[in-house]
Chains A and B, each alone.
Chain A
């Protein structure tokens, strides 16, 4: 059966041209040298490729190439930024601020820091899924040393106003870390005009390979970090370990393409989203999660009331999507992001995230929309909750066993 991939927020395929470039940096006939080897051409050529990649990424985000540190991905970047900054500046204060809708790669390091004696404020999003600069202003104290917020939410596609938040944190001398794993290469960001101090980047979210990412570390004003890895002092001592040339080259090439294609990609996604939404919007009792004005068109998260998300995914078996339903995860808890929005648990259980990307066609979204409509209808046919709703029973008033 032909599968339609609508899970681009989870990961993206690597562009063919990127794959080709990567394989040029692995074998004996290719450029396999260690970029840290200073004594021969194998090393020099590898180093040249790594620096070209650094330039490409720097161009994409508008920074100085020297502000980019290669890592193994956004999880490592988040860990290095959050733990590294908190531990380095711990003598300045012990208060940290983040939000409840961050990725686990951010929340978990904060939990670890709490163990180490730091105090963390977890901001709640508003019902549209946004964290506002006003909330940050209210949360920070003279003990706050770090604020960490995501640029684009992975489940909702909502976009945080990091420019305004950066002005605030800079004026108070607080470090701002932004997890931009979802946004880089998809929407524009300009590090030369914003006041973000640390920025996490992942290659596989923008058509690069898995296993590589980067951390932007601002030079002016200089941000310092306690490294996670100790060793050969690579990457200006922030991240020891031999550079994965082929991975970095892949990220760099993906960044170069993203820079060229971003406007076209966005226009295409707007169109796909419109086509999809036009088809599904008339389904009764559906709720868009994260209904913010400032939102990425490639992610659409919808709760289909009275239908459980995992069963809907099973019914949509030719479509690859993901769900906020507990039943797709090992935890049996529905999405903490949707709950943080104030969505009732049953709506969190009923949510599906559709994420579109560079290879998605109009035909794909039309087919998906039709299948969604018929599957929701069929699952409601077997749903006792739908039956009660149709009978006019108020489900909130029932005492469930």
Chain B
């Protein structure tokens, strides 16, 4: 599997400095946990699982993603795709985040055809996280 330099860089960036790459988690009990939406997609048996968390804040009447964290089990391009998604999320409104398409990730990372599912997983992860966040607010 020949990856683009971009996938390799993103992967290594994540591995070498996980904290800077937003690897991590918020867990129940953390301050602001009620403002965190979590999306888990994929399955271990399929070789990739992505866990994405978004922390949102109401700014001028709109919910914006002020921070995000992730953990990913998967191949190099799955890990790179999650890292790329994180970069794209911060500062976006939920609506803007919802509109991110997997194709953007494919283009930026120059993913080979056989790895497109990694970008699809990332798109699903953000949708799940947004849904989770919205369901939390409804429960308030």
Interface residues of A (CB under 8 A from B): 306-308, 310-311, 314-315, 325-328, 330, 332, 334, 344-346, 349, 378-379, 381-387, 395, 400-401
Report if A383-B42 is in contact (Cβ < 8 Å); known contacts: A314-B8, A400-B49. no
B interface residues, tally (CB under 8 Å) = 32
Contacts of A386 in B (CB 8 A): 73
Q: CA of A311 to CA of B48 in the docked complex: distance in angstroms? A: 11
CB nearest to A325 among chain B residues: B47
Stretch at the interface among B10-18, B58-66, B91-99, B102-110: B10-18
Contact with A along B24-56 (1 / 0, CB 8 A): 010000000000000011111111111100000
Contacts of B78 in A (CB 8 A): 308, 311
The reply to whether the CB of B90 lies closer than 8 angstroms to some CB of chain A is no
CB nearest to A327 among chain B residues: B75
A383/B45 in contact, CB under 8 A? no
CB nearest to B43 among chain A residues: A400
Contacts of A382 in B (CB 8 A): 14-15, 18, 23, 71-72, 79
Q: CA of A371 to CA of B79 in the docked complex: distance in angstroms? A: 19
Contacts of A326 in B (CB 8 A): 47
Contact with A along B129-140 (1 / 0, CB 8 A): 000000000000
A311/B44 in contact, CB under 8 A? no
A400/B8 in contact, CB under 8 A? no
A385/B79 in contact, CB under 8 A? no
Contacts of B45 in A (CB 8 A): 344-346, 349, 400
Q: Which of A306, A310, A382 has the most chain B CB atoms inside 10 A of its CB?
A: A382
Can you pick out 23 interface pairs between chain A and chain B where the beta carbons lie within 8 Å of each other?
A: A308-B73, A308-B75, A310-B1, A314-B3, A314-B8, A314-B75, A326-B47, A327-B1, A327-B74, A328-B1, A332-B114, A344-B45, A378-B15, A379-B15, A382-B18, A383-B71, A385-B73, A387-B25, A395-B44, A400-B46, A400-B49, A401-B40, A401-B124
Contacts of B47 in A (CB 8 A): 308, 325-327, 334, 345-346, 349
Q: CA of A344 to CA of B41 in the docked complex: distance in angstroms? A: 19
Q: CA of A315 to CA of B12 in the docked complex: distance in angstroms? A: 8
Q: CA of A19 to CA of B8 in the docked complex: distance in angstroms? A: 36
Contacts of B23 in A (CB 8 A): 381-382
